[in-house]
Chain A
Amino acid sequence: MSKVRRLLRLLRLEIWRQFIGWSGAWWFLVTLVVGQSVAPLLGLLIWLEVPSAGPRIGSYYLAVICVGLVTASFENHTFAQSIYSGGLATALLRPQPPVLGPLGENLAIRLWMLLLGMPLIAAVGLSVGASFSVPAVLAAVPALVLAAVLRFLWVWTLAMAAFWTERVHGVVAFGGVLILLIGGSAAPIALLPEPLRSIAQLLPFRSMLGFPAELATGTLTAAEAATGYLVALFWVGALACSAVGAWRLGIRRYSTVGA
């Protein structure tokens, strides 16, 4: 128990350290917010032109923007860079799990993005007349946490491709295309044609983006919500195993200057 407490304390310190560290790069963080929001904004503008998309489409895309900001992961830039530059060696020498560094930085950046994205969220919310019920938002909170975990595990695992290849940005971009297309950004999952819809409901990408937004908008039945949670939990387990496996294989290959 004391070990868990110690890890949580270390994580809190890492988040705080990174939060302060990133405070000097607020302009860059604003560009990250814009970069993260442009795809769902385009999705919103397109689907507003489609009458059969339904009246809740504005609220749905506003929720997608929020989920996107809270779950954004950039380990292909941060963590992969530490592999390329040899900086990972420093993390390996510390008496703490090496994942704490990337995780703390990830959470600090997300916190900044949410703070700096508030004006955009307010502007979009007002312009589309978005509305949410409190029970629906509360039902979406655990799904949002799972989405944040899943997105980190997904990008971190893909970023570990840096142990083997120099094309890590391409690998993560490929993952990003999947999240965009069948995660709920290009179109809400309910509007996808069959069999794409059934496939999207089983893969992890909807759980990373569209599922919490659907819950917050209140468009799912209790059975659909329960199934969505089961799928999300399954993928958290599967991606956690993949991440651990990739780490163990990757760290065997890793060598740095002087090693």
Chain B
Amino acid sequence: MATFVSLSTAIAELVRDGQQLALEGFTHLIPFAAGHEIIRQGRRDLHLVRMTPDLIYDQLIGMGCASKLTFSWGGNPGVGSLHRLRDAVENAWPRPLDLCEYSHAELAAAYSAGAAGLPSGLLQGFRDTDLYTANPDATRAVACPFSGTALTAVPAIRPDVTILHAQCADRAGNVLLRGITGAAREAALAARALLVTVEEQVESLDAGMNAIVLPSFLIDAIAVVPGGAYPSYTQGYYPRDNSFYQAWDGIARERESFLSWMNRHVLDSPDHSALLHKLGVAA
């Protein structure tokens, strides 16, 4: 049963050094506020999992929180590189980062298998790319036991903690996700513990019959964090701040400008509301 707590309490109680952690959300509903709180609380040696690392993993990696990354596309969409991710891979700064690399379809299959309680997921297997030789333990070639068709098996992902952002929760702790959900539902069901930040608590979810609702019993903790996805977005509340994503390219390009931005906006802000006020985004 979900309990409503503050974000700092939720991170303090659920997230430990050395855990496998998935902050999901595909461009939409990325839990930035939760990622920032993990940085403030100084977690280390995390194994981060995410289909598209995006700016929040660039920040976690650049601040030294991670030792391993499982991912399928690590760029700033429509802009270019994630410079902190690149610096970690190319120069081991601020510390070495192990990579486990998939395609989107493979990582989606790994989350789906985790959600279904299966040990692995299956895809059609045309294993002619170098991703297979570069990541020899990440997949296996198998044959369909019925047809003999060549398939690729991907081990299930079961994060210690999955963290999502969503539109709203009702008083009982049921959570509604609306719009582009990516692999959020699968990452939630695959998790050993689930933390969700929401824009607001509401009397009724007012969800359509086939809406994506995470029932309260799946969720360990809910924190109400308005603006918690910024500079990503929450459909129906505020749009993606594309100008921030463009500006991040310059901020993150050099170590000094990155650290100074993180110190001023994340470490020197007690919470997400303070950060949004500093950025001039809060209305």
Partners in one complex: no
Q: Give B contacts to A, CB under 8 Å.
A: none
Chain A residues with a Cβ under 8 A of chain B = none
